[in-house]
Amino acid sequence: MASSPGSDPDIAAIRAAAGRIAGHAVVTPLLESPAVNARLGGRLLVKAEPLQRTGSFKFRGAFNALAQLDAAGRRAGVVAWSSGNHAQGVAAAAQALGVPAVIVMPSDAPAIKLANTRDYGAEIVLYDRAREDREAIGRRIASERGARIVAPYDEPWVIAGQGTCGLEVASQADERGVRLDALLIPCGGGGLTAGCCLALAATSPATAVMSVEPEGFDDTRRSLAAGERLANAPGATSFCDSLLAPMPGEITFAINRRHLAGALAVGDSDVAAAIAFAFSAFKLVVEPGGAVALAAVLAGKLDIAGRCVAVVASGGNVDRSSFSDALANAPG
């Protein structure tokens, strides 16, 4: 692979990634509803990454990383670990570029994410999320096969690729003549957050960027308050399966602590309500982890009255049963 840009990718790396993924990734729309704006008393823009290739933003970073493998690296292949969205992104990018891929996935990952990853041609190795270390498994496989590890968030080229989402938000808002007061981003390991922080710092510096996490997995929020990386407490649960990283990434946290204006946390009931709201108001299918930023606005964690706020809906790979439960239990 081409040499890493160091521990901190920059706006040049993000713009290079945008050129690299052009024609492969989707420039997803920034949705808006006059009825929603009237209800909230402000302007809400929703970046619709469920419409991205593979159903989440993860394809951006995965393709940016794999596209830079040299011929020997493409023959040796890649190894990744993921609960599902990074898995699908790497698998799809690998299929498009003719690269063998092994993905380490939890045995309790949503069935749709397991099935889609297999359909993209990747080899899946399952592990027990409660008792086994996915990184140790992945590193062993990579060592045995001489393959390149493509980490889900703590990887400069992946962060740069995810930053293209923020680059698009800023550009699309500018095209509408909109000044964004804030951008809210779902946060697990922090790759999307870090990439968007860098993109907005360069293109829309007046925009306050904030991370949003599930309650019990608000490691970035607590780490920002402590000034150091903190792990989540064992035993916490959430149905936001894509945001259950044990602690912030080393590279991502270094970026996010410099650029984030704040961090929010939402409960599963708020997320379920946001899933139903996205479907009814925007006709958009959003998975639990992808709905946390929207949930923060709807639950009043951030008052947007008289302001213009964008949220990233980061993915839409949700099992039918979880989606139908969210719709059925949504407040009338």
Catalytic residue numbers, as ranges:
58, 314
Contact of 264 with 210, CB cutoff 8 Å: yes
- The string of DSSP letters for 138-159 reads HHHHHHHHTPEE--SSS-HHHH
Nearest to 292 by CA among 231, 220, 208: 220
CA 146 to chain centre: 28
Angle of the 156-175 helix axis to the 58-66 helix axis, nearest 10? 130
Give the helix/strand (H/E) hosting 311: strand 308-313
d(CA 10, CA 16): 10
d(CA 26, CA 28): 5
Contact of 329 with 297, CB cutoff 8 Å: no
CA–CA distances in Å: residue 188 to residues 119, 128, 219, 265: 25, 19, 8, 12
The number of CA neighbours under 13 Å toward the Cβ of 215 is: 9
Beta strands per DSSP E along the chain: 30-31, 43-48, 78-81, 101-106, 123-127, 148-149, 182-186, 208-214, 262-266, 308-313
- The dihedral of CA 149, 89, 45, 320: what is its sign? negative
- The dihedral of CA 238, 240, 241, 243: what is its sign? negative
Q: How big is the chain, counted in residues?
A: 332
Contact of 229 with 245, CB cutoff 8 Å: no
Contact of 293 with 313, CB cutoff 8 Å: yes
Tokens for 262?
Answer: 């704040």
Beta strands per DSSP E along 187-254: 208-214
